[in-house]
């Protein structure tokens, strides 16, 4: 079926489809297309199902299931479903049982080195690991997606963005066991709007700088989101020892309900079983804005800015924040080496260091990043 999308390059407007009454079981599928021309449409109105048994991947690449690489001008639509049948993978995960060895698991749907993508009206459920990933892509529009997996399913990120420029994600519902949306190394010009997230781990920038890597994230805007019952709200996480920067990032117009750690910058991130060693270098975090965020916090510590001693956070900005406790009682802020300013009503109150000495730069993104200009 997939070959129909990219074959016969002399014809423009290739189209492939899965019938809505059909059910297809599919093993590892690799769809190349770097040399193909024209616009390719893929209509999925049926259901694509992965083999249930992880042993089927014995001689296959265990990091991918459906994999598009080098395909340009591709549209996927149709209202269909992709089911990763990940339950057996989860039960074998080292995140569930530390006595299990940590092994790779497939991402359900990956786009690598693709340009001009449009993905809409698609449901992804129960992926073996991540549900959808864009890696080294350019100009991506994704909308009207539904991504579902149990809150206890490990590493089942909804949408993962890596080394990708010019992304718009909108009008989607994501309920998984990990980040609803994760944006990692060397990505820029990302616009996220009108997202429902939860349960899961919230919307994350990073992690960045693992294994002393130089990495960057810039020009990201999250405008319009509803988060509920998530382990984190909006988060930036970096490892000690890394370098690079995360800058020009705005989170605004966000409603949270029973969210743990609603606003967090953590430059001491460590998900190792053993404590991570202290290191002096760090990814520079600066020009980060949190605007019009309200709701309820499941944790007493509602705002946390844990920044590096050697590379403090600069240019943090809070405006119109109201995050009382979901359970009643007070909430509080925590700041370490965090420099910035606040405007409007902010609860819990800001705790910036030397905020009066910092003149904030005008770095907010335009309302609609020109994703087609990259």
Active-site amino acid positions: 201
First to last CA, the chain: 31
Separation between Cα atoms, residue 103 and residue 239, nearest integer Å: 22
Residue 295, SS3 per DSSP: strand
Contact 128, 86 (CB under 8 A): yes
Separation between Cα atoms, residue 263 and residue 237, nearest integer Å: 11
Contacts with 52 (C-beta within 8 Å, 6 or more apart), sequence order: 85, 87, 88
Question: CA-CA distances (angstroms) from residue 331 to 182, 192, 299, 301?
Answer: 27, 28, 8, 6
Separation between Cα atoms, residue 205 and residue 182, nearest integer Å: 6
Separation between Cα atoms, residue 72 and residue 123, nearest integer Å: 22
Structure tokens at 123: 């449901």
Burial call 156-176: b when 16+ CB within 10 Å, e when fewer? bbbbbbbbbbbbbbbebbbbb
Phi-psi region of 78 (alpha: psi -120 to 50; beta: other; left: phi over 0): left
- The owner of tokens 């970096």 is 238
Separation between Cα atoms, residue 209 and residue 197, nearest integer Å: 26
β-strand pairing of 187-197 with 214-228: parallel
Contacts with 191 (C-beta within 8 Å, 6 or more apart), sequence order: 167, 168, 169, 170, 220, 221, 223, 365, 368, 369, 371
Contact 160, 176 (CB under 8 A): no
């Amino acid at each position: 079926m997939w070959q129909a999308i990219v074959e016969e390059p002399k014809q423009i407007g290739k189209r492939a489809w899965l019938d809505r009454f059909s059910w297809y079981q599919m093993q590892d599928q690799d769809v190349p297309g770097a040399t193909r021309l024209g616009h390719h449409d893929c209509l999925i109105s049926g259901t694509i199902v992965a083999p249930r048994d992880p042993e089927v991947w014995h001689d296959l690449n265990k990091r991918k299931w459906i994999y598009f690489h080098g395909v340009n001008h591709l549209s996927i639509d149709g209202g269909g479903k992709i089911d990763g049948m990940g339950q057996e993978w989860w039960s074998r995960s080292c995140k569930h049982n530390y006595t299990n060895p940590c092994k790779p698991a497939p991402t359900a749907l990956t786009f690598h080195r693709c340009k001009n993508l449009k993905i809409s009206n698609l449901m992804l459920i129960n992926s073996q690991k991540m549900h959808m990933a864009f890696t080294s892509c350019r100009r991506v529009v994704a909308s009207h997606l539904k991504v579902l997996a149990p809150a206890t399913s490990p590493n089942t990120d909804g949408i993962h963005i890596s080394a990708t420029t010019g992304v718009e994600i909108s009008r989607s519902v994501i309920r998984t066991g990990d980040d609803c949306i994760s944006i990692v190394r060397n990505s820029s010009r990302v616009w996220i709007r009108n997202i429902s997230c939860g349960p899961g781990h919230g919307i994350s920038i990073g992690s960045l700088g693992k294994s002393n890597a130089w990495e960057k994230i810039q020009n990201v805007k999250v405008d319009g989101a509803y988060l509920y019952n998530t382990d984190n709200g909006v988060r930036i996480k970096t490892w000690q020892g890394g370098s690079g920067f995360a800058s020009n990032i705005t989170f605004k117009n966000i409603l949270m309900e029973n969210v743990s750690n609603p606003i967090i910058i953590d430059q001491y991130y460590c998900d190792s079983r053993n404590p991570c060693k202290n290191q002096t270098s760090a990814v520079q975090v600066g020009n980060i804005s949190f605007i019009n965020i309200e709701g309820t916090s499941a944790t007493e510590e509602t705002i946390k800015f844990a920044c590096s001693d050697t590379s403090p956070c600069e240019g943090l900005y809070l405006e119109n924040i109201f995050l009382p406790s979901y359970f009643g009682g007070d909430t509080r802020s925590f700041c370490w080496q965090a420099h910035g300013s606040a405007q409007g009503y902010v609860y819990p109150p800001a705790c910036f260091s030397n905020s009066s000495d910092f003149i904030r730069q005008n770095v907010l993104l335009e309302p609609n990043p020109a994703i087609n200009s990259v």
